[in-house]
Amino acid sequence: MSVRARSLALTLGLSALMLPAIASAQALVVCSEASPDYLNPQFSGQNTAYDVAAQIYERLTATERGGSQIIPSLAESWTTSDDGLTYTFKLRKGVKWHASKTFTPTRDFNADDVIFSFGRMFDPSNPFNKVGSGNFGFFAEIVQPSFKSIEKVDDYTVKLTLTKPNSPLLSALSVEPMSILSAEYAAAMLKAGTPEQIDFAPIGTGPFSLVSYQKDAVIRFKAVPDHWTKAVGNRDRMALVSDLIFVITPDAAVRFAKVRSGECQIARYPNPGDLPAMRTEPAINLLQGSIADQSFLAFNQQKKPFGDKRVREALAYATNIPAIIDAVYQGTGKIAAAAVPPSLWSHDADLKPRPYDPEKAKALLKEAGLENGFETTLWAIPVVRAYMPNGRRAAELIQADWAKIGVKATIQTFEWGEYLKRGRAGDHEVGMFGYTWDYPDPSQILLSGWTCEGVKSGANRARWCNQEASDALAKASTITDQGERAKLYKRFQELFHEDVAGLLFANAQAFTPVRKEVKDYKIHFFGGQPFYGVSIAK
């Protein structure tokens, strides 16, 4: 066992838990698809971590559950200066911190916690800046380029100052990596010589607190009895069950079997092939909704021969995307040509996907001096995601398509956390990746995943750097006129398509089977999936 694993086990008091022992009338049991890569979402860009953080932590702003409106959270209200450079947040009073076996808070949430949480991410002199992964990707890519300072005005007021306007800032502050951590908890762990515990044993202000975590098995939460939502009567943000359990179940068929038998009340990311059967189950409601997503093959342009546009375009023509959508998405996705999905404003509906044309693919390879093809590795995403239901099957179809033009692709995959780590490091030649938008603005995934700056941070998996495209994204975030912003995003999409920055798959629909005794569950399309506001009929 690693030092990190021992530390986590000691802190959380882990034990092997059998499902019959945890199920109860007041427990909401969710079959989830994978373990989180981090328990502190400041380090993560993945929904597995966001789903956990959504229960434990809160942020200054929030996205309404199941919707797209930005609403107050730890900040009750805010004002913005006329020049768009200063945001003043009035903080909510009476917000309690969670307690654990190793920490008992002595005060409520206040401005010091906001200052600490931001300071950890931007200030190299902060003692926690290098604790943990040291990589605050979301902050670095979305907030920091326009960030100047944050200061405490009084115990319940903070002022955030920018170097340039950042139109989507309030939306960005709602996402899990911008969660507010306890400054008092951090100070206590630093004094104890165990600063890493703030990441391994989360203390937040959310409706649920973490009880225990057993990697690849189960995550247990309990309702916070004195959560601030009860005082204000906000049932939609309140924990309405006493216990919340994530049963980590990588196999989609097993998740379906468990929700059908009642071992789980909700199953995440179902297999598209199981949807017809789910629709006929008398005890299940199959919920459906459009998501803002992007799924793609990233050709690592820092590795030969993928820096040559002719090679990338050849592989695009050689890939039978409609066949992949039929076999993998099974009616749950539509072929994608634009980097912004149809569910978001500024989507460019005029762009068309390249048709399946192996002969044209061969001609492009010949032009690139690769008439006899080449060998490469093709990474298959190892877990079910809303944007990719079956990575292995998709990779097998791509492998067969490419073999027809002389390209021999060896399929590789890794455990999900390792897959993400290696992808950020750029170990892949061709990798299968995807995103779902965490807030309702086109900027997020484009800024974090497709800029020249993202090449340096590792967020740009394709290592594609087109300066005109990056400049268009940067400019779009500094202006407030949505029509002008849309023009810039459309220009970005044109450049993305022309340069074959990535090979897009499909825009997907999200489905969730939910047992009928579960009330008021809403598929949440931005950020982590909250399970507060959800009850079980008695």
pLDDT tens digits for 324-338?
Answer: 999 999 888 899 999
Q: What percent of the chain shows pLDDT beyond 90?
A: 82
Query: Which tokens go with 98?
Result: 């969670």
So what's the pLDDT on residue 368? Answer: 97
pLDDT band, residue 19 (cuts 50/70/90) = very low
Question: What does pLDDT average to over the chain?
Answer: 92
So what's the pLDDT on residue 8? Answer: 40
6 burial (CB, 10 Å; 0-12 / 13-18 / 19+) is exposed
For residue 32, pLDDT over 80 is answered with yes
So what's the pLDDT on residue 77? Answer: 98
So what's the pLDDT on residue 386? Answer: 80
Number of CB atoms found within 10 A of residue 371's CB: 11
Helices (H) and strands (E) in the chain, counts: 20, 21
Number of CB atoms found within 10 A of residue 163's CB: 11
Residue type, 514: V
Query: Which tokens go with 523?
Result: 């598929």
State residue 409 phi and psi, 5-degree precision. -110, 125
State residue 164 phi and psi, 5-degree precision. -155, 155
pLDDT band, residue 480 (cuts 50/70/90) = confident
Alpha-carbon gap, residue 14 to 213, rounded angstroms: 6
Alpha-carbon gap, residue 110 to 94, rounded angstroms: 9
- 3-state class (DSSP) for residue 518: strand
Alpha-carbon gap, residue 263 to 459, rounded angstroms: 37
Tens digits of residue pLDDT in 372-431: 999 999 999 998 888 999 999 999 999 999 999 999 999 999 998 899 999 999 999 999
Tens digits of residue pLDDT in 277-311: 999 999 999 999 878 899 999 999 999 999 999 99
Asked if residue 331 lies in contact with residue 272, where contact means CB atoms within 8 angstroms, the answer is yes
State residue 494 phi and psi, 5-degree precision. -65, -45
pLDDT band, residue 25 (cuts 50/70/90) = very low
For residue 12, pLDDT over 50 is answered with no
SS3 track for 224-274: CCCCHHHHHCCHHHCCCCCEEEEEECCCHHHHHHHHHHCCCCEECCCCHHH
Q: Give the total residue count for the chain.
A: 538
Domains of the chain with CATH codes: 3-265+517-536 (3.90.76.10), 293-509 (3.10.105.10)
Asked if residue 466 lies in contact with residue 501, where contact means CB atoms within 8 angstroms, the answer is yes
- For residues 12 and 328, which has the higher predicted lDDT (pLDDT)? 328
**Could you tell me the maximum CA-CA distance found in the chain, to the nearest angstrom?**
70
Which residue's structure tokens are 């789903």?
51
> What is each CA distance from 203 to 223, 453, 493, in whole angstroms?
13, 32, 41
Query: Which tokens go with 359?
Result: 């002969």
User: pTM, whole model, 2 decimals?
Assistant: 0.78
Asked if residue 276 lies in contact with residue 261, where contact means CB atoms within 8 angstroms, the answer is no
So what's the pLDDT on residue 18? Answer: 40
In the predicted model, what is the mean pLDDT of residues 56-75? 94
Which residue's structure tokens are 């820092």?
302
Alpha-carbon gap, residue 359 to 364, rounded angstroms: 9
pLDDT band, residue 16 (cuts 50/70/90) = very low
Q: What percent of the chain shows pLDDT beyond 70?
A: 95
Which residue's structure tokens are 């546009």?
309
DSSP 139: I
In the predicted model, what is the mean pLDDT of residues 465-479? 94
So what's the pLDDT on residue 538? Answer: 79
pLDDT band, residue 14 (cuts 50/70/90) = very low
Half-sphere exposure at residue 152, Cβ-oriented, CA atoms within 13 angstroms:
13
Tens digits of residue pLDDT in 176-217: 999 999 999 999 999 999 999 999 999 999 999 999 999 999
> What is each CA distance from 154 to 160, 184, 272, 436, in whole angstroms?
13, 17, 52, 37
Angle between the N-to-C axes of helices 309-318 and 358-367, in degrees from 0 to 180, rounded to the nearest 10: 160
Which residue's structure tokens are 């969730």?
512
So what's the pLDDT on residue 132? Answer: 86
In the predicted model, what is the mean pLDDT of residues 141-149? 92
pLDDT band, residue 13 (cuts 50/70/90) = very low
Residue type, 174: S
Tens digits of residue pLDDT in 243-253: 999 999 999 99
